[in-house]
C-alpha cells in the first residue's frame, strides 16, 4: 500500500509517494499546467509510474494540494456571482471597513468588491442579535431576484443575512427557494461557511466562496475521472488551509478552505517532524524563490490566524475571510529576491523577485540584477557545478558582475556587498520569525526551528543562531516538503460559533452543551459514527470585559470555572505581558478542532550501512562567513551518505538534490536515525 501526494506550485507540480511496507519513497516533478492543473497532476503520476515504477492500484491514500482556488481569485477568473442580503445593507460588501492603511496617500481606495453593485440584491428580512425574527423573509421578492439573476446570467449566488450566525433559518429558506427557481446556479449561504459575527468579513467570505465554487467542482470532477481511469480508487483528499485534509466532496462545499493549500502542507509536515523529534513547539520556516513563510507550532498544533486576509499589504486592507487558515507570516524575501539601493544608498532586499524567468543573474537567462541566490554563489555557499543535480551550471562571474554597481556605490568589495545582501535578507526573515514567536509571547529558546524550501537550509543555521533556538532541523526532502507534508496531514474540520456570554457559575455547563452540538456536527461531517474516532481540541475565545480582541484559550471540558479563569489569565499574560486578576471575563467564540484518527506517514529509519564522513565527503570549498569577516575552508558533504548519530563540527556544506545546508563555524551537526539533519551550537 502506498500514500501519494501531489502539490501544484507556480512552476512545478511535485509528486511524492511513500510505500508503507518497504519505506520506499518515489518522487516526480513535472511542469504545472495552469489552465487545467489536473493535466500536470496526471503527468506527474504517469512519470512516477514509468520512471519510478509506481503502482497506482496500490495507492490507498491520495492527497492533492493546488492553487486553482487562489489563482481564480488572484486573476479574477471566478464565475459571475450575485449577492442576496438583508434590506438596507447591499453596500456593506463595498464599504468594507472603510480604513485607510495607506495613511498619507490622498488617492487611496478600498479594494473593489467581487460582486458589483448591480448584482447585489436586497430582500426584506431581519433578525436581532439573539436570533429573534424582527421581519419575516419576503419570499415573494425572491422570485424577482431569481429572474434578474437568470437574465444577467449569474452562475453563483451568495446569501448573507445579518445575525445569521445565531439563526440561519432565513438564509437556509432562501437557499431552498432560489435553488428551486435556479437549479443550475450554485447557491451558498454564509452559515454553511462561517458561524461568526462581523457582517462584512462574513459577506466577503461567502462571496469569494461562491465565486470559486463552480470552478473547483468542475476541477475535482475532472481530476477524479482521470484518477479513476489510472486505477487510483481510494478516497481522494484535498489539502486544506487549516493544516488538515478533507475529501473532495467536503472541500467542494467550502472551496475557500483550499486557499492556502500548498503552504499549509508544509506546516503539516513540520508538525510531523516535530513529533519525530519529540518537540511539540516549533518554528517552521520555508524559503522559496520569491517569499519566505514562517509559522509557529504550539503543543503539536499549528496556530490558526484569526484575521486572515487575502491580498493584504501594509497599504491595502485586502479581503478578510473567516475560514481557518494556519497562521503564516509571509515576507517578500526569497532566493530570487532582488537586492537594491535606494536614492540614499540604503540597501534593501525584495519584494521584487527575478522569479524563475529571467531568474538570478547567475542563471544567465537575461537577469542582471543581484539576487540572494547570486550572493550565495559569490560567497561560495552554492556550488556552480552541482546546482539542481548538475542539470544547470551557475555563472559566478555573472553573479559578481551583478554586484559591481552596488559595491562601487557603497565603496565596498563585491564579496562584502554579497555578504551584506545575505545579512539583510536574514534580518528580514528574523523579524518575521520574531513576529510569530517573541511578539506573541513565545521564547525562541524553547523552540526548534524546522527549515525547508530550496533556499531555507542555506539560511537556517545563521537564523537559528540569531534567534537562539534549541536546534535547527533540516527535514527530509526539504525541496518538496509541502508535498511530503500533505502525506502527514489528517482529515480535519474546525467548527466555530460566535457565542457571547459573561463568565458565570453555569458557564462550564453551557460550554459543554455547545461543544456537544459541535461534536455531533463533527461526527456527521466525517460520517464516523462516534466521537471516539476523533481527536478533539476544545478552545474558547476569552477576553476581559470591555476588550474587543480575545485570547484563544485551550480548555478541558471537565475543568471547573477557576481552572478555566487561571488558564485565561495566564494566556493573556503570555500574549500581552499583563493580566487583570479581578476584572470580569467574557467569552465570544467557541472553537472545536476535530481530527479523524488515521495513520499518518511514517518516517523510515535510514539504513546505517555504507555511510561515513569519508564516503560523504565531496571535497572542500572556500566559503565567506560575514560573522567573523573572512573566508573559511569548508567541508562539502553529500547528505545521502552522512553517518547516523555522529556529531561533527562546522563549518560544513551539506549538499543534496534540491538544496544545500550551511553549518556555521561554532556549530555542530548530526544526522538522526530517521534522516533529519540537526544543527546546534557547540
Partner 1 sequence: MSQHQQSRLVDDLDVVTAEIISGKLLALVDEMAIIMAKTSMSPVIYEVLDFACGICTSQGELVAQSNGITLFTGTFGSQVAAVAKQYEGDIAPGDIFITNDPFNGGTHSCDMAVIRPIFHGDRIIAYAITVAHWLDVGGAVPGSLPTNANSCFQEGLSLSLIRIGRNGELLPDMVRIIEQNVRLPDMAIGDLMAQLATTRVAENGVRETLDKYGLEAVENVFTHIITSGEKKSRAVITDLPDGEYFATEVIDGDGIVDTAIPVQVKITIRNDEMIADFTGSAPAAAGPINCGYTALSSAVRTVFKALVGPQEPSNEGWFRPLKIVVPDGTVFSANKPSPTGWYYEGSVHASELVWKALANLKKDRFSAGSYTSLSVLYITGKDKNGNLFVHIEPQHGGWGASADADGANALIALTDGDTYNYSIELLEAKFPLRVKKYCLNTEGGAGAGRQRGGFGLIREYEILSDDAEIYCSLSRNTTPPWGVENGREGSCNFVEVENAKNGAVSRLHRVPHWDIKNRDRVRVITGGGGGWGDPKERKTEDVMRDILDDLINPEQAVDQYGVALDNDDAFQTDK
- Quickly list H helices, 163-198: 169-181
Q: What is the smallest separation between the CB atom of 628 and partner 1, expressed in angstroms?
A: 8
**Quick one: 130 or 527, whose CB is closer to partner 1?**
130
583 binding partner 1? (CB under 8 A): yes
DSSP state of 644: B
Which one among 14, 125, 199, 260 touches partner 1, defined by CB under 8 A? 199
Closest CB to partner 1 among 199 and 276? 199
Residues 300-339 within binding reach of partner 1 (CB under 8 A): 314-315
Among 140, 366, 576, 597, binds partner 1 (CB under 8 A): 576
CA atoms lying within 13 Å on the CB side of residue 554? 9
CB 223 within 8 A of CB 38: yes
> Contact between 76 and partner 1 (CB under 8 A)?
no
| Burial class (CB within 10 angstroms; exposed 0-12, middle 13-18, buried 19+) of 300 | middle
Beta carbons of 459 and 474 less than 8 angstroms apart: no
Among 509, 548, 558, 633, binds partner 1 (CB under 8 A): 548
Cell of 286: 520555508
Q: How far is the CB of 500 from partner 1 (least distance, A)?
A: 6
Between CA 126 and CA 137 the distance in angstroms is: 8
Q: Does 299 bind partner 1 (CB under 8 A)?
A: no
Q: For the chain, give the number of residues.
A: 682
> Beta 677-681 vs 652-655: how paired, if at all?
unpaired
Binding mask 155-194 for partner 1 (x = CB under 8 A): -------xx-x-----------------------------
Q: Is 104 in the site for partner 1 (CB under 8 A)?
A: yes
Q: Does 445 engage in binding with partner 1 (CB under 8 A)?
A: no
CB atoms closer than 10 angstroms to residue 623: 23
Could you tell me the three cell numbers for 558? 471537565
682 makes contact with partner 1 (CB under 8 A): no
User: Do 211 and 79 contact (CB within 8 A), yes or no?
Assistant: yes
Using CB under 8 A as the binding rule, whether residue 427 contacts partner 1 is answered as: yes
Q: Which of residues 20-49 bind partner 1 (CB under 8 A)?
A: none
Q: Determine if 530 is a binding residue for partner 1 (CB under 8 A).
A: no
Kindly state whether residue 503 participates in binding partner 1, applying the rule CB under 8 A: no
Among 35, 75, 343, 556, binds partner 1 (CB under 8 A): 343
Answer yes or no: are the C-beta atoms of 215 and 75 closer than 8 Å.
no
Q: Is 129 in the site for partner 1 (CB under 8 A)?
A: yes
Decide: is 581 part of the binding site for partner 1 (CB under 8 A).
Answer: no
Q: What is d(CA 141, CA 122) in angstroms, rounded to the nearest whole number?
A: 9
91 touches partner 1 (CB under 8 A): yes
Residue located via cell numbers 462584512: 200
- Closer CB to partner 1, residue 97 or residue 512? 97
| Interaction of residue 435 with partner 1, rule CB under 8 A | yes
Least Å distance between CB 546 and partner 1? Answer: 4
Is 198 an interacting residue with respect to partner 1 (CB under 8 A)? yes
CA dist 473 and 670 (Å) reads: 10
**Region binding partner 1 by CB under 8 A among candidate stretches 207-215, 242-250, 433-441, 661-669:** 433-441
C-beta closer to partner 1: residue 163 or 492:
163
C-alpha cell at 124: 426584506
The answer to whether 472 touches 461, Cβ cutoff 8 Å, is yes
Is 345 or 617 the residue whose CB approaches partner 1 more closely?
345
153 binds partner 1 (CB under 8 A): no
546 binds partner 1 (CB under 8 A): yes
Is 86 in contact with 162 (CB distance < 8 Å)? Answer: yes
Q: Of 347 and 528, which has the nearer Cβ to partner 1?
A: 347
Q: Is 108 in the site for partner 1 (CB under 8 A)?
A: yes
Grid cell digits, residue 368: 542582471
User: Using omega within 30 degrees of 0 as the cis cutoff, is the peptide bond preceding 358 cis?
Assistant: yes
Residue 352 contacts partner 1 per CB under 8 A:
no
The answer to whether 403 touches 417, Cβ cutoff 8 Å, is yes
Q: Which is nearer to partner 1, 549 or 608 (CB)?
A: 549
Cell numbers linked to 427: 534580518
Return d(Cα 405, Cα 403) in angstroms, integer. 6
Residue from 1, 31, 95, 388 that binds partner 1 (CB under 8 A)? 95
DSSP class of residue 243?
S
Give yes or no for residue 118 binding partner 1 (CB under 8 A).
Answer: yes
Does residue 148 interact with partner 1 by CB under 8 A? no
Please state, in angstroms and rounded to a whole number, the distance separating the CA atoms of residues 295 and 283. Answer: 6
105 near partner 1 (CB under 8 A):
yes
C-alpha cell recorded at residue 12: 512545478
Amino acid at each position: 500500500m502506498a500514500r501519494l501526494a501531489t502539490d501544484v506550485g507556480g512552476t512545478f507540480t511535485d509528486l511524492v509517494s511513500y510505500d508503507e511496507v518497504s519505506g520506499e519513497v518515489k518522487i516526480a516533478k513535472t511542469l504545472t499546467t495552469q489552465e487545467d492543473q489536473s493535466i500536470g497532476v496526471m503527468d506527474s503520476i504517469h512519470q512516477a509510474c514509468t520512471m519510478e515504477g509506481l503502482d497506482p492500484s496500490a495507492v490507498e491514500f491520495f492527497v492533492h494540494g493546488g492553487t486553482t482556488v487562489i489563482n481564480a481569485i488572484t486573476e479574477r477568473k471566478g464565475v459571475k456571482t450575485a449577492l442576496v442580503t438583508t434590506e438596507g445593507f447591499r453596500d456593506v460588501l463595498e464599504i468594507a471597513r472603510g480604513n485607510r492603511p495607506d495613511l498619507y496617500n490622498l488617492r487611496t481606495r478600498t479594494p473593489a468588491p467581487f460582486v458589483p453593485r448591480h448584482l447585489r440584491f436586497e430582500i426584506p428580512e431581519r433578525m436581532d442579535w439573539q436570533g429573534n425574527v424582527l421581519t419575516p423573509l419576503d419570499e415573494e421578492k425572491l422570485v424577482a431576484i431569481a429572474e434578474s439573476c437568470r437574465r444577467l446570467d449569474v452562475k453563483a449566488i451568495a446569501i448573507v443575512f445579518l445575525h445569521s450566525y445565531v439563526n440561519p433559518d432565513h438564509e437556509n429558506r432562501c437557499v431552498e427557494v432560489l435553488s428551486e427557481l435556479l437549479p443550475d446556479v450554485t447557491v451558498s449561504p454564509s452559515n454553511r461557511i462561517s458561524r461568526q459575527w462581523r457582517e462584512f468579513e462574513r459577506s466577503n467570505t461567502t462571496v469569494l466562496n461562491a465565486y470559486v465554487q463552480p470552478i473547483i467542482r468542475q476541477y475535482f470532477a475532472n481530476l477524479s475521472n482521470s484518477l479513476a481511469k489510472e486505477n487510483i480508487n481510494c478516497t481522494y483528499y484535498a489539502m486544506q488551509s487549516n493544516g488538515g485534509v478533507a475529501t473532495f466532496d467536503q472541500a467542494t462545499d467550502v472551496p475557500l478552505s483550499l486557499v492556502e493549500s500548498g503552504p499549509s502542507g508544509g506546516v503539516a509536515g513540520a508538525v510531523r517532524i516535530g513529533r519525530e523529534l519529540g518537540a511539540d513547539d516549533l518554528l517552521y520556516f520555508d524559503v522559496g524563490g520569491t517569499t519566505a513563510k514562517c509559522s509557529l507550532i504550539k503543543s503539536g498544533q499549528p496556530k490558526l490566524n484569526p484575521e486572515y486576509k487575502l491580498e493584504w499589504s501594509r497599504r491595502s486592507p485586502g479581503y478578510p475571510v473567516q475560514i481557518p487558515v494556519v497562521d503564516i507570516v509571509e515576507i517578500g524575501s526569497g532566493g530570487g529576491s532582488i537586492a537594491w539601493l535606494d536614492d540614499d544608498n540604503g540597501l534593501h532586499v525584495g519584494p521584487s523577485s527575478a522569479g524563475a524567468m529571467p531568474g538570478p543573474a547567475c542563471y544567465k537567462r537575461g537577469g542582471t540584477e543581484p539576487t540572494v541566490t547570486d550572493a550565495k554563489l559569490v560567497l561560495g555557499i552554492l556550488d556552480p557545478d552541482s546546482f539542481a543535480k548538475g542539470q544547470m551550471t551557475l555563472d559566478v562571474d555573472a553573479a559578481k558582475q551583478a554586484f559591481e554597481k552596488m559595491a562601487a556605490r557603497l565603496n565596498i568589495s563585491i564579496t562584502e556587498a554579497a555578504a551584506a545582501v545575505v545579512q539583510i535578507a536574514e534580518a528580514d526573515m528574523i523579524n518575521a520569525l520574531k513576529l510569530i514567536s517573541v511578539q506573541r509571547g513565545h521564547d525562541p529558546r524553547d523552540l526548534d526551528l524546522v527549515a525547508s524550501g530550496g533556499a531555507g537550509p542555506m539560511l537556517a543555521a545563521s537564523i537559528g543562531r540569531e534567534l537562539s533556538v534549541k536546534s535547527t532541523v533540516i527535514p527530509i526532502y526539504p525541496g518538496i516538503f509541502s508535498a511530503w507534508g500533505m502525506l502527514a496531514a489528517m482529515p480535519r474540520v474546525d467548527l466555530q460559533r460566535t457565542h457571547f456570554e459573561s463568565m458565570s457559575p453555569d458557564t462550564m455547563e453551557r460550554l459543554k452543551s455547545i461543544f456537544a452540538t459541535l461534536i455531533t456536527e463533527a461526527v456527521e461531517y466525517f460520517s464516523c459514527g462516534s466521537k471516539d474516532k476523533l481527536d478533539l481540541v476544545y478552545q474558547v475565545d476569552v477576553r476581559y470585559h470591555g476588550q474587543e480582541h480575545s485570547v484563544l484559550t485551550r480548555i478541558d471540558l471537565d475543568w471547573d470555572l477557576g481552572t478555566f479563569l487561571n488558564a485565561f489569565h495566564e494566556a493573556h499574560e503570555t500574549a500581552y505581558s499583563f493580566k487583570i486578576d479581578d476584572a470580569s471575563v467574557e467569552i465570544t467564540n467557541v472553537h472545536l478542532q476535530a481530527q479523524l484518527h488515521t495513520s499518518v506517514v511514517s518516517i523510515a529509519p535510514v539504513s546505517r550501512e555504507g555511510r561515513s564522513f569519508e564516503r560523504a565527503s565531496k571535497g572542500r570549498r572556500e566559503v565567506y562567513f560575514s560573522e567573523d569577516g573572512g573566508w573559511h575552508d569548508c567541508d562539502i558533504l553529500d547528505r545521502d551518505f552522512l553517518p547516523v548519530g555522529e556529531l561533527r563540527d562546522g563549518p560544513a556544506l551539506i549538499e543534496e538534490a534540491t538544496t544545500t545546508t550551511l553549518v556555521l563555524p561554532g556549530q555542530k551537526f548530526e544526522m538522526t536515525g530517521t534522516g533529519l539533519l540537526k544543527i546546534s551550537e557547540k
